[in-house]
Amino acid sequence: MNLDGIVKKNRVAVAMSGGVDSATVAAWLLERGYEVIGLTMALWQPQGMISSTRTCCASEDRYDARQVAQKLGIPFYIVNLEYPFLQEVIGDFLRNYAAGRTPNPCIECNRTVKFTHLLARAQAMGAEFLATGHYAVRKVDSSGHPQLWRGCDPSKDQSYFLFATTLRQLQFLRFPLGDRTKEETRALAKKFDLHVARKPESQDLCFIPEKDRTAFFARYAPTAFKPGEVVDLEGRRLGEHAGIGHYTIGQRRGLGISASNRQYVVEIRAEENQLVLGPEAALYRDRLTVERVNWLGATPMENPTRLSVRTRYAVEPVPATLTPLSDTTCQVVFDHTDRAITSGQACVFYAGDI
């Protein structure tokens, strides 16, 4: 593990989610003589939601985090962030879906709740750094400029979910697990005798019960998810959809349409409340425009730049040319066409592993 200049015996806060990764980080820091404080977020959940160990930040996870802190003998605090989570993550999630976009709430949670509100709480408590269990690497170049690198384990690399982290936030953050694999982390947790060493990973969205998006949308955004027309590329009516919030670009199953050839969602027209279906060939594009660019490079991007990009988490970066259009927007032109580019998702830029 590499902590880039954390001085031993300084106070450091650990964002403890209740899982094996953050628990191992806390134990590892403590073993090396740091004064560790455990911080766990209490986030908003739908009324009556039955928590699951497959989500993050649920009540069972807070219990596990507290148990780990007690075993390690470190101070432990639950930070109530229900309101900012509701406003900045769930509100953003619902607004985007209503507008025909497919957002990633975990990215927004990192940017706003975790690395803004929780980080501020850590600073107020005198912590010099906030450490998390993310599988990414933070390095500093020769001029002192912080950089975000891919984790060493390609199957667990989480740099994609951290792209919106600002330089100011990155100065204060540390990711001690970036040079380890998941199995190495579990082995270390077992060595520390942590009861979460074999705890399953969280996979579901923490605020949607049992993956039931339909019931969630019906309860919290009923007017935004109204039935509407399904049309083909020529505008011919094919049927009716259950609300554009239930669909995403590239979706093939659950469309409720009978056709001789496979049909995919190729466009979502929010203003018309229309779902457009077409063949798979219609899903391929050679370019896109990125908004809300968060540039982490040491120098501004002022001219067309050759980089690699990822438009989805579970894919390898592909070569492209980036052309800045303004301080916060740029055009991305792929060397080869990319499939199912989806409005609302993240397009993350890489120079090698940076």
User: Quick one: CA torsion of 47, 49, 53, 57, rounded to 10 degrees?
Assistant: -20
Which of 56, 206, 330, 347 is catalytic? The answer is 206
3-class secondary structure, 185: helix
**Nearest alpha carbon to residue 177 among 127, 139, 123, 132:** 132
Please say whether the beta carbons of 308 and 318 come within 8 A. yes
3-class secondary structure, 307: strand
Q: Could you give the CA distance from residue 222 to residue 214 in angstroms, rounded to a whole number?
A: 10
Which of 106, 109, 330, 347 is catalytic? The answer is 109
Q: Can 109 be counted among the known catalytic residues?
A: yes
Strand intervals (E) in the chain: 11-15, 35-42, 76-80, 129-131, 136-140, 146-150, 173-174, 228-231, 237-241, 264-269, 274-278, 284-290, 305-310, 318-324, 330-339, 348-350
**Nearest alpha carbon to residue 247 among 225, 271, 262:** 225
Q: Could you give the CA distance from residue 124 to residue 334 in angstroms, rounded to a whole number?
A: 44
Q: Can 106 be counted among the known catalytic residues?
A: no
Write out the catalytic residue numbers: 109, 206
